[in-house]
């Protein structure tokens, strides 16, 4: 069970391969893994976006992601959970967030992955500032989905 704030590029597929090698070597208990990756788009609210700065509340983000994982582990039977979130400067196409859940069965994996992702988007203390062709702006609200 790991959550981490990254200041360097997030490479979701390499991170997943590494994590599985460490946590599941020789094990065949996980029948299902569900993964979500959120990536920076080059378009938001009709405007071209050239870059982004992701601010966060150090200390609170770590604690909040940790609590999300604990709460998910109470609600569903999970074998492992991995949550990675970028902060700092990002470019369009850069992955922002990875949520991965391993379980014996697929319903728990799907449900827990989605629940963590929705909670993270609505409650974890991160803020996006977008760089446009002219100037920059704070993102006002998250898309509902």
Mask of contacts with a second copy, 45-84, x by CB under 8 A? ----------------------------------------
User: How far lies 37's CA from each of 19, 97, 99, in Å?
Assistant: 15, 6, 7
CA distance 6 to 113: 20
CA distance 61 to 35: 20
- 113, with CB counted inside 10 A (0-12, 13-18, 19+), is buried
Interface of this chain with another protein, residues 83 to 122, rule: CB under 8 A: 85, 96-97, 117, 120-122
**Which segment (56-64, 80-88, 99-107, 132-140) binds a second copy by CB under 8 A?**
99-107
Interface of this chain with a second copy, residues 32 to 51, rule: CB under 8 A: 32-43
CA distance 97 to 90: 12
Mask of contacts with another protein, 48-87, x by CB under 8 A? ------xxxx-xx--xx--------------------x--
Per CB under 8 A, the list member of 8, 14, 134, 141 interacting with a second copy is 14
Helix (H, G, I), strand (E, B), or coil: what is residue 85? strand
- List residues binding a second copy (CB under 8 A): 13-14, 16-17, 20, 24, 26-43, 92-93, 104-107, 109-110, 113-114, 117, 143-145
């Amino acid at each position: 069970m790991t959550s981490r704030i990254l200041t360097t590029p997030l490479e979701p597929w390499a991170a997943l391969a590494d994590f599985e090698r460490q946590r599941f070597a020789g094990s065949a208990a996980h029948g299902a893994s569900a993964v979500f990756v959120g990536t920076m788009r080059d378009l938001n609210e009709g405007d071209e976006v050239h870059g982004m700065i992701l601010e966060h509340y150090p200390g609170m983000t770590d604690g909040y992601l940790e609590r999300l994982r604990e709460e998910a582990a109470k609600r569903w039977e999970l074998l492992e959970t991995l949550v990675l979130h970028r902060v700092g400067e990002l470019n369009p196409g850069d992955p922002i967030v990875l949520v991965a859940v391993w379980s014996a069965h697929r319903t728990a994996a799907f449900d827990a992955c989605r629940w963590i992702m929705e909670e993270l988007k609505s409650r974890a203390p991160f803020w996006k500032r977008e760089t446009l062709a002219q100037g920059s702006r704070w993102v006002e609200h998250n898309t509902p989905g």
